[in-house]
Each structure stands twice: as C-alpha cells, then as structure tokens.
Structure 1
Amino acid sequence: MNHHGCQHLNEFKAAKGTEPFRIIHTCFIACASADARRLKAAHCRCHTCNQPAFRLHACLHCVYFGCYLDKHIQEHARSTNHNLAVDLHYGAVYCFPCGDYVYDSELEDMARSQWGKASSSLGIKERIFAPWEPNDTETELLRKNPKRRKVEVASTVGLRGLMNLGNTCFMNCIVQALIHTPVLRDYFLSDQHDCQTGVVKKCLVCEMTRLFQEFYSGVRTPHIPYRLLHLVWTNARHLAGYEQQDAHEFLIAALDVLHRHCKGSNGLNYSNPHHCNCIIDQIFTGGLQSDVTCQKCNNVSTTIDPIWDISLDLGPGPPCGNNNNSSNSSPGSGYSNSPGNYEPTSLIECLKRFTKPEHLGSSAKIKCSNCHSYQESTKQLTMKKLPIVACFHLKRFEHSTGYHKKISTFVSFPEQLDMTPFMSSSRNNNNGYCNQIVQESAKSLSCDNKYSLFAVVNHSGTIETGHYTCYIRQHKDQWFKCDDHMITNASQQEVLNSEGYLLFYHKQILEYG
C-alpha cells in the first residue's frame, strides 16, 4: 500500500471533497443502519456480470460496482478515466494510475468513525476492526522501555492441507512447493497478474491467484483443489484421469501451462536472458550452457538453452565414450557423465557428474565448424545463468524395455548450496574444474550463487504403488510435512534424512536488472 500520499486522490478530494467516500463507506461498507445493510445486500453486485463477486470495488467517481478479479472494475476505469475505486470489503481506496491501494489519514479517520457508528447500531460496545492505540499509561511504559524484548511467534498462516481427490498426491505436493515459493507468493498476493486468456475460468494463473488467497486467508480446514485439477486435465491431457502420475512430470506441465497463460503480462524487473517477462520464467528459468570441443582443433561450439529444472542421474554411469544419453537434446534431462560403475551419494556429487566433461566417442562424431570435418569431441554442461528457484530432479525411476525399477539410494543434500563451482565462469582452461576451486568454494561460499533449501518432495513405496509427500519451510528453521490434508511439524534433520525426489532451492540474493 502507498503510504506517501497519492496525487490522484488529492486532486479528487480538491474537486469533489470526501463526501463520495463517506456515502460509499456508510451505505456499502460499514453500514451504520439496518436500511444500509438491506441496501448493501440488494445492490452489492457487479454491474457488468451481475454477480456478488469477492473483492467488489465501487468507483469513487460514479455509481458503478465492478469485479476486481474478473477485471470489470479495471475495464471501467480504462473506458471512463475514473482513476479511483473503493474496496467494498475493507474500505481501502485503489488508484489505477498508481497501481496500488493508497492511504489517506482524513479518509482513515472518517472510516474509523463510520465503523464506530456501525458497532453502536449493532449493539457492539467496542469498535469493529479498530487498531490498537496505546493509552496514557501504556505510552509512558513504552517511553520508559524503548528497547523492548522481541517475542517470536510461530506463524502458521499459509499452512493448509489439500484433499486427495483420488491419487492426486502428486499434484498436492507440487502445489505445496509452489505455494511456499517466496517470490511466487509475493507475486500472486500483490495482484500483479494481468489475465491474457480473456476467460478467467480457463486461466491457470487466475486459479493459482485464488489458491494463494485461499492458503493465506487464515482458514485452517483442508482445501479441495477441484478447480485446479480440472484446469490441469484440460490443459495437460496426458495427466488426465485418476491414475497415479509422476510429480516431476506434473511440475513441468504446470510450469508450462502457467508460462503460456501469463506470458507477456507485466512482472517483476529481474534480468532475463530469454526475453520472456512472465513471472514463471523470471523465477524458474535458468540457462544451461553446452560446450562441444573438437578433439582435433580444440574449437569450442557453445549453445545456451533455457531450463526449468536439472535432472540428475542416480544410477551407475557408463564407461567413457559409451554414453547412451549423449544424443538426448533435452536440456536438464540428466546426462550420465561418469565413467565406470560409480553411483553418486550426494547432490554435490550428482552436480559434479552432470558438469563433468564427457567424451562422446567415435559413434557420435560431429562436424566441426572450424576444421570442417567429422571429428570426435568432448561435451561439457555448465550453468550460464542461475534461476531464482533451482529445482533438482533426482532420477529415481528407471524405465526401459520390459524393465522398471526405483532407485532408493540415499542421496544427501545440503540446507545451503553454493552453485559457483558449476557455473560456466568457473571452468578452467582444460574444460574441467580445478579441485582447488571446489575446495575454496566450500570454505567461502559465493553470496551471489548461494541457495537455501525450502521444499523437498518425497516418494515412498514402489514404482507401481507409491505415495508423494512434501516438506516445506515456513520460516528460517521451521519445517512442516504436507501429506495431502495432514500438516505436521517436522525437524530439519528429518527433512535432510529423507529420500528426496525433487529438491527446491531459493536464491539468497536476488539480482535486479
């Protein structure tokens, strides 16, 4: 909210005074009489869709009520140049040119007076929604004790279970991870989405907006995400049905639909090399650099692809020069770059193997753009651009012809992660990593590339029958386990000892472009 005054509101008050606000507040917000309450019940509907919508706004310039979420009040403001509207639920004034709710002490005093009258008419002795104001004794105590002890209160706002609608635990755990993604939460709770679909009921971003509002409304009862499930089935038909699905596949499908539905809308001003301003790309998109080096002339061919996650192999890697995944052109799909029968036991080891130079072998010769001949080459993957949220997919499910299995190997992952050793800028002249760089990085973590763990998705059971749960971090050291509708406390050690499937890390320092 803008607390520094609004010139548009000041100009309105200079021209028309505060009477329009008083009338709206008296008749449709505080309702200081029985007649006013009857009037509000009869007329508080959107003048465009005739629905008693949530977050209805009244134009301060004329007699018009419009939906905020369905953009009817915004359309009215654009067509009439009426720049101010009043939220009929809270009484806050919204300025469309400023794009924010604005504060005015005179209107605040008027609203406080109206709430007092409404309380009296209902027989309530104390004022409704009155903020605490210290009396003389309390003011004196505060003056004598300027350095007050901070009381830590564990907030559970935002914690809410999700009902399982029939093998939908894969969806519920991803929703919990997205709901507790800090930058994504700030975006959705600040009403920055500008719907591009034209039909709110078909827009997954609009549904996510409603979902964030449901989670942070303070309601504790489990939420039933039937609208979200219907939208997912509609926009990602390969996930439709009541069969158990893969949580990683759902994550990528959800990000893709969200990206398509909010592409082009105004978002936060983070630098983005992929020329998409949507909030999904701003938060989740990183740049994966692939360097292919010709073994004859040492010419390096570089490509950079956008990725939403990094898939990491857990199984033993094939011998050098015999990589069965080398033809996989999908970025972040998990390359096996390790020789021999080595199986990684930590996220750091997985990342080292992912970014290790790989000899492609004689069966995968590439025509060199410099020497113009087919030559054997070496390929190395590194991170050119780090996302705000880094998601690591540990490939625990192996599928081949007539062969399916789950890898339950314990893979440790840290609470704090430094990605500096795996950046393109950290490579040495031999297209490898110096051990010294890795060791020095472990001692002194780079602030710019440092991440904190905030969500972990786990899979228990077998590849045929299993169940997904999710750990989320609510505050710095507070973790909770989300098991569909059940939310329980969890220790940090319990999280770090879990059999991670999807690991979500948030960047500690954000770079503004």
Structure 2
Amino acid sequence: MLTYYELVILACVTTSLLAALGNEVWLSVLRAAHAPGRPELCPQYLSERGGVVRRAGERPWRPPHPPLAAVTPTRMELAGGKSGPSGLRRSSERSDSAEPKTERQASHTSGLNGLRNIGNTCFMNSVLQCLSNTRPLLEYVSEDKHGQEINTTLSCMKGALIKAFASVIKELWRSGERDAVVNTTSLKSQVQRFAPRFMGYSQQDAQEFLRYLLEGLHEDVNRVTIKPKPILTEIDDNLSDSAKAAEAWSRYLRMEDSRVGDIFVGQLKSTLRCTHCNHDSVTFDPFWDLSLPIPSRTGNLKLQQCLQHFVREEELDGDEKPTCSKCGVRRKCLKWFTVQKFPQVLVLHLKRFSPTERFRGKLSVCVEFPLSTTYSGHYTAYCKHPYTGDWHEYNDSRVTPISPRNVVSPEAYVLFYELQRS
C-alpha cells in the first residue's frame, strides 16, 4: 500500500499558489528525521497535484526547481504511520487498479461552474471552489451521505448549514450545465447564522472563513448526539507516546466525530524536554490546519523554511520556564512540534499577518515570491479537477482552463494536500 500526499488545491491566497513547489517542500518535510531514541517512521511522499489562489492581474511566477534528491530532511516527523515504504510519483502514474470511473468521473464538463459574487464574496467563492475540488468532501455531499448523519440534537444549525453547502456543491457539479453561475445567497445566510462575524458584505479573510465553515459542517454531522461527560483525569504519563496519542485521540472522538473531521482533522504532538533531567513531557491535540509562521527576516524564503520554522526547537527560559513533571520545579525546557496523525486532507496556512493588525499588518517577507498587502485584495482559486486532472482558474463567475506551466504564481496563503493511497 503506497501512501503519499498530493497538492490537491491551493486554497485561497490573495495571489497565487504553486503546485510544483509541493514536491520540493513536502518531499523534505515528509522524509521523517530519525532522531536518536525515536521510533523509526515510514516516510510518506507526495506527487504533483494542486490548486492556487492569486490576485487578479499578476503574472505567473516560476521558482527554480532543484533536484528532488538534493532536498534536505526537516524536523517534521510522521509518527504513527501504518503504511509501508513509498516513493514519489506523479499523479499520472497512479496504479492501474484504481477504482472504475463513475458517470461523474467520466464527465469532463462537471465541476466547472462559477459562483456569483454577491458583494465582496470572492473570499468565500475561492474557498468553496477549493472545497468543491477536494474529492473526499465532494463525494460525501454530492452523494447525499451527509443526509444520513444530520445532528439534530447538539448542532446549533440542525443541519441547515451543510444542506445549504451541499446544494451549492451539487450546483457546481450539475452535469451538462457548464459555464453556469451559481448563487450563494442561501449559503451565506446560513454561514451568517452560524458565525455572525460574516454578516454584511465587507471583505473577509479566506482562511478564517474556511475554518468557521469546516467547523460548522462538522457540527451539523457530528456523530455524537448525546454529549458525554468529559474525562477530567490526566493521561498516564507512564504510557508510551503511541499509547498516549491513541488515548488522546479516543477522548477527542468521544466529543467530536464526523466525516468532515475524518477528512480534515489531524493530531499534533507537542514535546517539552527538560534540559536538567532530559525528561520528555508530551501532549496531543487535534488540528484542522497547520499555521506556518513566516520568519521575521529579510530576503527570500522558501515554504520549506516556514515548515522548518514551525517544527524548530524553541527554548523556554526565564518567565516562560514550565514546571518539569519529573523534577517538580520550573526548569529551562526545549519545545517542538511534530505531526502524530496526518489527516486525509492536510490544510496549510501561511501566517502572513501580524497579530495586532489583521489586515494591515501583513508580513512583507518574500516566501519564494513577493508578498504584498491583501487589505483590499481579490481572491481567485486555481484548482486541479479531481477526476480529469485538468487545471482551471476560478474567478467568481468566470472559470477558465489554465496550463500547468502557468499555475505557479506568487503569494500562497492556504494549501490543500490530499493523502493518496494506491
């Protein structure tokens, strides 16, 4: 069983993302860095496939492509992997044993409808097009599987949000109606009910919209219909890390368990190492996306460097010193993150804004491409069709074919990677 990640869509930047960069970055990230004393992990790789969002009017940009073999490993680890050895493959090299094409798969025109901009809603439209081209979620709602799992007891929306979302996705994929323009007014109304911050028609942040939308869809189909009592006891510190991770994941699923979560939620491992006794304290938390910091430095950066910055060791000293669970006193510690469980669809978010000024405080560092302000930017999306493999640009109501050579473009903001098994 081969396992690897593909860039399925770039999602929502204010300018554009790149598909080809996925190979360079993720080959290095998904090569587990086998530190001494840690269990050997099965490396997982990805092949080219993706989507992009860019700002209108920008010219495509092509980064240099070093040999894949020359890319150095990073600290990010794939803990808990179950697959065997795997390698890098292009999406065109998939196994002949792949499932037979359905009627929808055979259609070259489905999924190419646009979305009407009903007033500064390009941020919403770009996210919806990205989700529409995310195959696991697409098939879940288009085949009405969500209808059997509506949570009418704990969900505040009682299924209204995912029903409106499914209606839009079905319209986008309605067979024989290529170039149709889909209205999102009903869906926007339901989103506003769930998250009032999206009331009105001002420009909003696409990543925040994505997070709220996914959490709302998750609530609507949460399989937990009777809220259980929370477990207040700490996980036994004497357990192995894998046992702790399994227990933490089990506790999470007692409260939050949905098909949407199956697709997008992973598990992050945080390690705290005491520099005095070398004792490791680990915690495990679910995540919907990974927010990658952009190091505050001048010059050009690669996405790979943002990933390295995310998983780097951080020293906690002075007022930040935590209490070592073994020493019983505050000690200087080292802290770092690894991914314990990757989701089926991995969402990466580049943190290009300062925490004090959400829209005006954008970091101006180049991440392998120039960054500019998005205060009044226009969102578009580049997506690779989940069945035909063709690339298209989604710019509100306009959907146009695009050559893979022209996909790579400056500012990535949100990236989707889909785990592939063959």
Interval containing the TM-score (normalised by the shorter chain): 0.5 to 0.7
Cα distance in 1 for partners of 2:158, 2:285 equals 33
Equivalent position amino acid for 2:293 in 1: D
1:501 corresponding residue in structure 2: 413
- Alpha-carbon contact 1:176-1:482 (below 8 Å) kept: yes
Cα root mean square deviation, aligned: 2.9
**SS, match of residue 328 in structure 2:** coil
Instruction: Give 1:468 deviation, angstroms.
Output: 0.8
Alignment match of 2:108 (pick from 139, 155, 161): 155
CA distance in 2 between partners of 1:165 and 1:387 (Å): 33
Q: In 2, Cα distance between the equivalents of 1:227 and 1:304?
A: 38
Take 2:120 and 2:408, find their aligned partners in 1: how far apart are those partners? 26
Q: Judging changes above 3 Å, is the alpha-carbon distance between structure 1 residues 398 and 470 closer, same or farther for their aligned structure 2 residues? A: same
Q: Return closer, same or farther for 1:212/1:259 CA change in 2, 3 Å cut-off.
A: same
**2:282 aligned with 1:312:** no
Match of 2:379 in 1: 468
Residue 172 (str. 1) matches residue 125 (str. 2): yes
What does residue range 210-359 of structure 1 map to in structure 2 within 5 Å?
A: 210-218=167-175, 219-220=177-178, 221-264=180-223, 274-275=252-253, 276-316=256-296, 341=297, 345-359=301-315
Q: Is the 8 A contact 1:291 1:381 kept in 2?
A: yes
Overall identity of the aligned pairs, in %: 34
Letter aligned with residue 174 of structure 1: V
Q: Supply the distance in 1 between the matched residues of 2:365 and 2:214 (Cα, whole angstroms).
A: 28
Give, as a single letter, the amino acid of the residue that structure 2 aligns with 1:212: I
Q: How many angstroms does 1:412 deviate by?
A: 4.8
Normalising by structure 1, report the TM-score. 0.52
How far apart in 1 are the matches of 2:335 and 2:143? Answer: 43
| Moved beyond 6 Å, runs of 4+ | 198-201
1:156 Cα deviation from its structure 2 partner: 2.3
* CA distance in 1: counterparts of 2:408 and 2:126, whole angstroms: 17
Displacement, 1:251?
0.5
CA gap 1:262/1:397 in 2 versus in 1, 3 angstroms: same
* 1:377-416 matched pairs, under 5 angstroms: 377-400=333-356, 404-407=360-363, 409-412=365-368
What is the CA-CA distance between 1:232 and the residue it aligns to? 0.6
Q: Aligned to 1:305, what secondary structure does the other structure show?
A: strand
1:190 aligns with 2:190: no
Q: Given that residues 289 and 349 in structure 2 are in contact (C-alpha distance below 8 angstroms), is that contact kept between their aligned partners in structure 1?
A: yes
Q: CA deviation at 1:344?
A: 6.6
What secondary structure sits across from 1:366 in the alignment? coil
CA deviation string 1:162-194 (max 9, x = no partner):
001101111101101111101111111222112
Cα distance in 2 for partners of 1:237, 1:245 equals 12
TM-score normalised by L of structure 2: 0.62
Contact 1:295–1:375 (8 Å) recurs in 2: yes
Larger mean Cα displacement after TM superposition, 170-179 or 470-479: 470-479
User: 1:202, 1:231 within 8 Å by CA — same for their partners in 2?
Assistant: no
Matched, 1:483 2:395: yes
1:277 shift after superposition:
3.2
**Contact 2:112 2:399 (C-alpha < 8 Å) held by counterparts:** yes
Q: Name whichever of 239-248 and 473-482 sits farther off.
A: 473-482
Q: Look up the match of 2:81.
A: none
Three-state SS of the structure 2 residue aligned to 1:351 is: helix
3-state DSSP class of the match of 2:413? strand
Letter in 1 for 2:152: T
The structure that has the greater radius of gyration is 1
* Conservation of the 8 A alpha-carbon contact between 2:292 and 2:306: yes
Partners of 2:367 and 2:359 lie apart in 1 by: 23
Unaligned runs of 5+ in 1: 1-151, 317-340, 414-458
CA deviation after TM superposition for structure 1 residue 403, in Å: 9.5
Aligned pairs (5 A) from 1:115-130: none
Residue identity matched to 1:197: T
Counterparts of 2:358 and 2:285 in 1: how far apart (Å)? Answer: 33
User: Does 1 or 2 have the higher relative contact order (CA < 8 Å, sep 6+)?
Assistant: 2
Give the Cα–Cα distance (whole angstroms) in 2 for the partners of residues 205 and 237 of structure 1. 17
- CA distance in 1 between counterparts of 2:398 and 2:368 reads 26
Secondary structure at the counterpart of residue 223 of structure 2: coil
Q: Distance in 2 between matches of 1:189 and 1:395?
A: 32
| Residues 408 and 176 of structure 1: CA distance in aligned 2, closer, same or farther (over 3 Å) | farther
Work out the CA distance in 2 between the residues paired with 1:355 and 1:404. Answer: 27
Structure 1 residues 408 and 483: alpha-carbon distance in aligned structure 2, compared to 1, 3 A threshold? farther
Q: Is the 8 A contact 1:460 1:467 kept in 2?
A: no
Letter aligned with residue 244 of structure 1: Q
Offset, 1:406: 2.7
1:182-214 CA-to-partner distances (Å, cap 9, x unmatched) read 111111122211222389986111112222221
CA distance in 1, matches of 2:141, 2:207: 23
Structure-2 change in CA distance of 1:408 and 1:479 (3 Å):
farther
Describe the superposition over 1:240-288 as per-residue Cα deviations: whole angstroms up to 9, x where unpaired. Answer: 111110000000100111111110179xxxx975414311110000101
C-alpha deviation, 1:354, in angstroms: 0.6
Partner of 1:364: 320
**What is the Cα deviation at residue 161 of structure 1?**
0.4
Supply the distance in 2 between the matched residues of 1:377 and 1:472 (Cα, whole angstroms): 43
Q: Distance in 2 between matches of 1:154 and 1:494?
A: 24
Conservation of the 8 A alpha-carbon contact between 2:298 and 2:365: no
Aligned length: 286
Distance 1:410 1:154 in 2: 40
| Equivalent-residue separation in structure 1 for 2:106 and 2:260 (angstroms) | 32
